[in-house]
Structure 1
Amino acid sequence: MAEIGGLYWESHGRADAEPLILSPGLGGSGQYWQPNIAALAEQYRVIVYDHRGTGRSDRALAGRVTIGTMAEDVIALLDGLGIEKTHFLGHAAGGVIGLALALSAPERLAALIVVNGWSRLDPHFARCFETRLALLRDGGPRAYLKAQPIFLYPANWSSDHSAELDAELEAQLAAFPNADTIVRRVTALRSFDIDDRLAEINLPVMLVVSEDDMLVPAKCSHRLAKGISGAQLGVLGSGGHACNVTRPDMFNRLVLSWLSQAGH
């Protein structure tokens, strides 16, 4: 198993291609990007990793967990891989990690893509977080995971893929981090606030947004676009919070097209 500083990682594509790191959302597992890896790896050295405390990475979380400490893990991963500068694609939690890096270590990023991200806590997804944590506390991991598609996917897509989602549940349960880890990660996401620092971000940024995201309101991405000079919006009319999963072909084309123009 490939590991750097307690972080599991894997590489796809040519070793001499430009690097592109994929950072997942709240679940933290790099397996989230399976619908996208093959297409992106045709042109880039795609590096996926599991966030600390999740997946195949070290499950121990020492000290306070913040988006800043998650960003520090990315820097340690880059250093361990000998990568000075990388493209970075992050979904939700992974996206705000990318935003934190754009402020703390902009010299390490060639281009940043944030999928359904935010600059500060929004009342709607604060309510969603509270609901999900209540499910975890009162119903346990199975109830938490059973409800997860409601927040991630459009209703029609979930209905059409219901059997597939049910089949995935047992594997998700087997890989589920402990409840304290989820609580600490959610606390970090709720505390993230760079709303008054967006003008400081000075690198190519694309903000991919699903207008029908029922977890993170689309207006959060639009707010990021207004605050970050030169940021481009990549708007998907549908796809839900996990739009890279529900509409992978369109998502992959959007990412590759933008990187070919702005990521160099």
Structure 2
Amino acid sequence: MPTATLNGAKLHFDTEGSGPPVAFLNGIMMTTASWRAQTAVLGKRYRCVLHDMRGQLRSEKPERITLDDHVEDFRALLDHLAIDCCHVVGTSYGGEVGLLFAAAYPERVQSLAVISAVSEVGPRLRRQTEAWASVARSCPGQLYATTVPDNYASDFLGAHSDAVESGRERLAGYPDDFFPAFARLVDAFLMLDITDRLPDIACPTLVLCGAEDTLKPVRYSRLLADSLPNATFLTVPDAGHAVVVERPDAVNTALLGFLAMHELAMHE
């Protein structure tokens, strides 16, 4: 597993495939392997760049974690890999980091795909994620059970009990330092408030969400699409917050079409 010390933190990263670079930014509980349904398809046409952010499973877990740290870590990773500009795909927490990165470094973002993300934290979302952080700190063995109903559509849970159980077993094997670091990631997320900056993010942006998302409901994605000046808005039916896991074929189709369109636009 390649690692590099970037912006003061040791980060795990992976690259797969070849072609124009596409960087994937993890959701809060994800690791690079969580994108395998996407990289298996997109890696046939693109160089897929992935990393665990500071605080995530395979990377360093410092006491200080902010969203701005993630932005600068990602910039340092692109520098390390000699990538001047790339497509950026982020889901949930990663989508929010992607928005911040596009605002800070517009010259480095060819296009942006923001999946299941928000630009601000409403009261219900704040209560849900504060509960996650509290459980992670006080009773980590219950974290998976606490988060699953928020992350997946109820129909998916009913039809994929084996996947749910394997996820539970996987999380149970995580090291002890994962859980307080996860809580610090939640604390960083709760500081998010960038709606007023969205009109300044000019890159082509795909805003995509699951129609049944109860954690970050569709209204958050509509706010993004309405506020970003160059946005395309899509919903995936019968999918919850973890749409990249629940409906990977639909997500991959949307991404391939969007990326191809903006590859062509670059060369016109």
Same-fold call, TM cutoff 0.5: yes
Q: How does 1:87-98 map to 2 (within 5 A)?
A: 87-98=87-98
State the match for 1:158 in structure 2.
157
State the match for 2:82 in structure 1.
82
Partner SS, residue 191 of structure 1: coil
- Tell me how far apart the structure 2 counterparts of residues 195 and 159 of structure 1 sit (CA, whole Å): 35
Residue 62 of structure 1, CA deviation: 4.8
- Tell me how far apart the structure 1 counterparts of residues 163 and 224 of structure 2 sit (CA, whole Å): 34
Contact 1:198 1:224 in 2 (8 A): yes
Partner SS, residue 131 of structure 1: helix
Residue 2 of structure 1, CA deviation: 0.7
Which structure 1 residue ranges, 5 or more long, are not aligned? none
Q: Which amino acid in structure 2 is aligned with residue 153 of structure 1? A: Y
State the match for 1:175 in structure 2.
174
Question: Alignment partner for residue 17 of structure 2, among 6, 10, 13?
Answer: 13
Partner SS, residue 57 of structure 2: coil
- Tell me how far apart the structure 2 counterparts of residues 131 and 10 of structure 1 sit (CA, whole Å): 32
Which structure 2 residue ranges, 5 or more long, are not aligned? none
Residue 28 of structure 1, CA deviation: 4.2
Contact 2:136 2:180 in 1 (8 A): no
- Tell me how far apart the structure 1 counterparts of residues 108 and 144 of structure 2 sit (CA, whole Å): 35
Residue 171 of structure 1, CA deviation: 2.1
Q: What is the number of residues matched between the two proteins?
A: 259
39 and 183 in structure 1: CA distance in 2 versus 1, 3 angstrom threshold: same
State the match for 1:249 in structure 2.
249
C-alpha root-mean-square deviation of aligned residues, in Å? 1.5
181 and 174 in structure 1: CA distance in 2 versus 1, 3 angstrom threshold: same
Moved more, 104-113 or 46-55: 46-55
Q: How does 1:41-60 map to 2 (within 5 A)?
A: 41-59=43-61
121 and 105 in structure 1: CA distance in 2 versus 1, 3 angstrom threshold: same
Residue 160 of structure 1, CA deviation: 1.4
State the match for 1:187 in structure 2.
187
Q: How does 1:1-264 map to 2 (within 5 A)?
A: 1-5=1-5, 6-14=10-18, 17-59=19-61, 61-63=62-64, 65-138=65-138, 140-175=139-174, 177-263=177-263, 264=266
Moved more, 24-33 or 225-234: 24-33
Query: What do the CA deviations read for 1:16-54 (whole angstroms, capped 9, x no partner)?
Result: x10001111111411221221101111110111111122
- Tell me how far apart the structure 2 counterparts of residues 226 and 31 of structure 1 sit (CA, whole Å): 32
Indicate the percent of aligned positions where both proteins have the same amino acid. Answer: 28
Contact 2:152 2:246 in 1 (8 A): yes
Contact 1:124 1:216 in 2 (8 A): no
88 and 159 in structure 1: CA distance in 2 versus 1, 3 angstrom threshold: same
Query: What do the CA deviations read for 1:213-264 (whole angstroms, capped 9, x no partner)?
Result: 0110110110011111021102112210011111111110011001111353
- Tell me how far apart the structure 1 counterparts of residues 147 and 42 of structure 2 sit (CA, whole Å): 26
Moved more, 154-163 or 140-149: 140-149
Structure 1 runs, 4 residues or longer, greater than 6 Å off: none
Task: State TM-score, norm by structure 1.
Answer: 0.93
